[in-house]
Amino acid sequence: MKEYERKGLLERINREAATVGADIPDEIEVQGEPIDLRSFVFEIKRRDSVPPGERDRVDRAKRNLRRERLRRVERIEGNEVSYEEGEALAASIIGIDRALEALEGLDAPGPETEAQRQSAADQKRWMSFLRKALGRDGGGRGGSRQRF
């Protein structure tokens, strides 16, 4: 593989938006073992959150995927492969990145959940303010007397 081809492949896999529109591979070989990656990711993503019993399995999968990604990048960097093999490796690396993004996103709250949490906190602050302003904060400032 020519140097400019190798650099182009490395640039492509390190591009910030590389995974946009990318598919998770159906199957991938990690440390010599075939894994049904797409079905694993969709099985885990189907749930709202990762159950405690599955947490270790997901963490182990993420570690193995990162390790496999690094191994494949090093093969391209080391110029050990032909351009065609490099293309296939780059596509598989982008697929691994897509799977990792999906698995990493399980822990992050969605925008709706975060908005609900913020709304509840705002309402709590507002109610606390009203109690204090109306003298109902239980601090002995007039008890039930209302001041407007």
SS3 of the chain = CCHHHHHHHHHHHHCCCCCCCCCCCCCEEECCEEECHHHHHHHHHCCCCCCHHHHHHHHHHHHHHHHHHHHHHHHHHCCCCCHHHHHHHHHHHHHHHHHHHHHHCCCCCCHHHHHHHHHHHHHHHHHHHHHHHCCCCCCCCCCCCCCC
Greatest mean pLDDT among 7-11, 55-59, 77-81, 122-126: 7-11
Query: Parallel, antiparallel, or unpaired for β 33-35 and 28-30?
Result: antiparallel
Does the predicted TM-score (pTM) go above 0.75?
Answer: no
- pLDDT, position 17: 78
- Residue 54, number of CB atoms within 10 A of its CB: 15
Look at 148 and 60; give whichever has higher pLDDT. 60
Report the pLDDT averaged over residues 49-64: 80
53 pLDDT band, cuts 50/70/90, is confident
Report the pLDDT averaged over residues 114-124: 74
- Please, what sign has the CA dihedral across residues 56, 60, 66, 67? positive
pLDDT at 148 over 50: no
- Inter-CA distances, 20 with 14, 17, 129, Å: 13, 6, 45
For the ranges 16-20, 94-98, 107-111, which has the lowest average pLDDT?
107-111
